[in-house]
Amino acid sequence: MKYDFNEIYQRIASEKWEYDSVINGFPVIPMSVADTDLVSPVEVRQALIEVCNRREFGYPAYHDDFKDVLASWYD
């Protein structure tokens, strides 16, 4: 799937601290680099909705394939 990383995502009034914060009457000037303003991929949003619809937020049991994926990540 192709993603449009040029799409401008309006974050004003979205409760994001760097756009809506005021300290002592002065607006906060955002200077962070860790937070992105890209739209989350549809697949990620759908996966989150599926997890929320299960209504179970306990600790997961990791399967053997998880160990393989994690090991290859560190290689």
| Bigger pLDDT: 13 vs 54 | 54
Judge whether 3 lies within some domain: no
- Cα 55 to chain centroid, rounded: 20
First to last CA, the chain: 27
Judge whether 10 lies within some domain: no
Scored b (16 or more CB within 10 A) or e, 30-51 reads eeeeeeeeeeeeeeeeeeeeee
In which domain, by residue range, is 46 found?
A: 17-74
Give the pLDDT band of residue 42 (cuts 50, 70, 90).
confident
Judge whether 5 lies within some domain: no
Judge whether 37 lies within some domain: yes
pLDDT score for 68:
86
Our count of domains for the chain comes to 1
